[in-house]
Every structure is written in C-alpha cells, then in structure tokens.
Amino acid sequence: MSDTLVTVFGGGRVAKDGQLYRECQTLGALLAQADFLVATGGYYGSMEAVLQGAAEAGGHTIGFTCSIFDAALKPNGWVHEERKTGSMPARIERMAVESDAFVVVHGGLGTLAELALVWDMILTGEVRARPFVIVGQEWPQVVQSISQHTQMGSSALKLLTFVETPEAAVAHLREVLPR
C-alpha cells in the first residue's frame, strides 16, 4: 500500500440515497483502487460516502476528527484510523500538513473554509504546494465569484485544477502524484 495521502473535503449534509453520496462513494473507491490512503473529516455525508467507497475497495481510511464535536458526533463506521485535534483550525492545519493532495466535492461553509484555508496556506508557502482538485460544476462559479470580488491574483487560481467527475479527479492525481 502506498503512503500517499489524499484528503477529500466535502459536506456533512448529503443524503445516503442521493447522487452526490454515490459519486463520493465512487471517488473513495477509485482513490483506494489507485493505491492512495484516503482521508476525510471522518463524520457523515460526503465524508462517510468517500470512506465507505475506499474501505469497500480495500483501502485504508483516515478520519481527521475534532474533539469539539465529541458530545454530538462520533466518527463514521468506515474510519480505520482516527486523527483527532482539539479545534477546527488545528484540524484543517493537520490535514494541510499531512496530506499529499486534496480533492474538494460539494459542501457547505465548512468545505469552503477548508478549501480557502488550505489554498491560502499553499499560496503563502506555509505548506508545500501539492495537487488541489476541485470536483463539480458549481465550483468554477464559486471560485470565479470570489476572484472577481476580492484581491485574489491569478497565481492563486493556478493552484486549482477543476474537473467534473470523480474519475477525472483520480485520473489527474494518478498523473501528478508519486506512488
């Protein structure tokens, strides 16, 4: 098994019987089949779907959990290895430091926060540059809007790779990551 860790950011409010859940399962399975370690935030929704797909494909899964959620949330049943932090900023920083690549799927404010913070950490050189793949038709519009209404430069945009499908995301990672 490779020690190349791909962390997926995505939302917790994803129905198990929905299209996004199935796409996230596919993403997890494809990542595991490509011999990557697969990580998410370790809770529910897309995080659970990705880890389920990876585990069912024989992959090793990691959940980056946070002790502030201990009273309300438990890691999903597909987490093989839990890496817990004490706060949300520490959780995102740990994911940024320990991961070899990132994939972003549809989500909410937490997903947007993860995307923005890790993206900025790479841009400023706080963590080394690494592949950052954004999956879905909605993300180009979100990023374009942020770009139009902020002081973001073109160098920031060059750090992201936009794709429409889980298959395209994994194909890109297979091209650019050592295994």
pLDDT tens digits, one per residue of 145-170: 999 999 888 889 999 999 999 999 99
Number of structural domains found in the chain: 1
Q: Contact 100/4 with Cβ under 8 angstroms?
A: yes
Q: Contact 32/174 with Cβ under 8 angstroms?
A: no
Q: How far is it, in rounded angstroms, from Cα 133 to Cα 168?
A: 9
pLDDT tens digits, one per residue of 26-80: 999 999 999 999 999 999 999 999 999 999 999 999 999 999 999 999 999 999 9
CATH number of the domain encompassing residue 136: 3.40.50.450
pTM, full prediction: 0.96
**Residue 22: domain span:** 5-176
> CA distances (Å), 89 to each of 52, 108, 162, in order?
25, 16, 25
Q: How far is it, in rounded angstroms, from Cα 39 to Cα 150?
A: 31
